[in-house]
Amino acid sequence: MRIDITHARLRPDDVAEQVEKLEAYTEHLREVTKTNDLEADEASINLPSDLAQREVVGALHQELQHASLKYIFLLGIGGSNLGTKAIYDALTGFEDAILQDHTPRIIFVDTNETALISSVTKLIEESIQSPEEFLAITISKSGGTTETIVNTEIILSKLYEKCGDSMFERIVAITGEDSAFDRLLREKNIRTVYIPEKVGGRYSVFSPVGLFPLLTAHIDVDGLLAGALDMRNECLKPEFSANNALQSAIVHYIHARDGRRISTHFIFHPQLESLGKWYRQLLAESIGKHEDRSGNVVCAGITPEISIGSTDLHSMAQLYLGGPHDKLTTFIKTTKSEEGVEVPKNRFFSDIVPEVSCKNTEDVMSAIYEGTMQAYQDASRPYMEVVFEDLSPYEIGAFMQFKMIEVMYLGVLFDVNPFDQPSVEQYKIETKKRLKE
């Protein structure tokens, strides 16, 4: 994976000023990795090298894997769900959505919306015959997430109807140690794995939160971790030109400071849409803060958007190219081409768009991508490119680590805490008030 900021439209002296601001923090991150513990706020950067957690999820996987396993019900929301879904969709989910042939399948139960829950309970009623055919993984670090607990109660009740007490052998809970949920789980002898205390949900994909469900779905988690570890080391280099996270953070900060507070990730692979949604939470929840570290009201933040190429060129390009200069765009693509599907030689409508004759779908997408870059340049719109070598676990892991370190750098530049989310608690408190009525 590489980043190209050639067209980000930055002044060298402005970049140098921001690099200097981040020198001490870059050194701090290097010190965190030297300890290899999970006690710092930035503990998540040590997850890719944490062999103990990899052994825990590996042993649990060996214990619970079964040839009859068909469905993995993942009960979580936000940081307990988005990272896993991003990786799953990137590597199998796009094909899975069309062909329905990936086994075992992860069923993401990530909302209390009635239609979704009804479809999942119907699936259980019609398709589950024995406990070996499913795993139910419930994830809540606090142990009290309303949406997750509601779905856990409903789904486990349906599974109990089908399998009785043997259902309990097919449940895994991932939570914070000694939460109220954890204590109840221990009473019922349900297998429990812990999320490190200092690792927040949006940074937790390389912990058991992501590793265990992905491993059970036969995703190469070791490739994922290898990519994350290599990228972590790249993103701790002091040189601006060698540090992807440093570059992206500074580009985002300078443009936000100058009024471009909307960050659009234009992704030219539809199977990466969930990866964009994972980053949307990471950036929004980490940097969108009412107060700075000193308690001053700043209402800081960058608004993340996701567009899919080329689909959204027909819905958003007019705004991006002709609208207000309040956006920074990051284009995401891969350099590895698939074998394109040929446009038939004997066309039905050969007089319409004659340029596509003797071309294939890869030729067309390449022309669209390059044409979009040129249009942005002609309109003097700033953009970056993130280029994957391929859509592999290694590259996906590298991208996610790059983005997590990017927002840590942004926390320093905006002088906000990128590891908390105090405003999120407001809706949770109000929700529980109304449920008591």
CA 213/CA 72 separation, integer angstroms: 8
Query: Would you tell me which CATH number, out of the four given (2.160.10.10, 3.40.50.10490, 3.30.70.1170, 3.40.50.300), belongs to the domain 39-219?
Result: 3.40.50.10490
* pLDDT for res 95: 57
Token couple for 184: 């109840």
CA 22/CA 205 separation, integer angstroms: 25
Neighbours of 66 (CB within 10 A): 16
Q: Residue-wise pLDDT tens for the chain (437 aa)? A: 999 999 999 999 999 999 999 999 999 999 999 988 899 999 999 999 999 999 999 999 999 999 999 999 999 999 999 999 999 999 986 655 555 566 899 999 999 999 999 999 999 999 999 999 999 999 999 888 899 999 999 999 999 999 999 999 999 999 999 888 898 898 889 999 999 999 999 999 999 999 999 999 999 999 999 999 999 999 999 999 999 999 999 999 999 999 999 999 999 999 999 999 999 999 999 999 999 999 999 999 999 999 999 999 999 999 999 999 999 999 999 997 778 899 988 889 888 898 888 899 999 999 999 999 999 999 999 999 999 999 999 999 999 999 999 999 999 999 999 999 988 878 888 888 888 87
* pLDDT for res 278: 98
In 3D, which of 46, 16, 17, 15 has the Cα closest to residue 29? Answer: 46
Q: What is the CATH class of 2-30+224-414?
A: alpha beta
**CATH code 3.40.50.10490 region(s) in the chain:** 2-30+224-414, 39-219
CA 263/CA 284 separation, integer angstroms: 10
Strands of 64-162, DSSP E: 71-75, 105-109, 134-140
In 3D, which of 431, 437, 355 has the Cα closest to residue 150? Answer: 431
Predicted TM-score (pTM) of this structure: 0.95
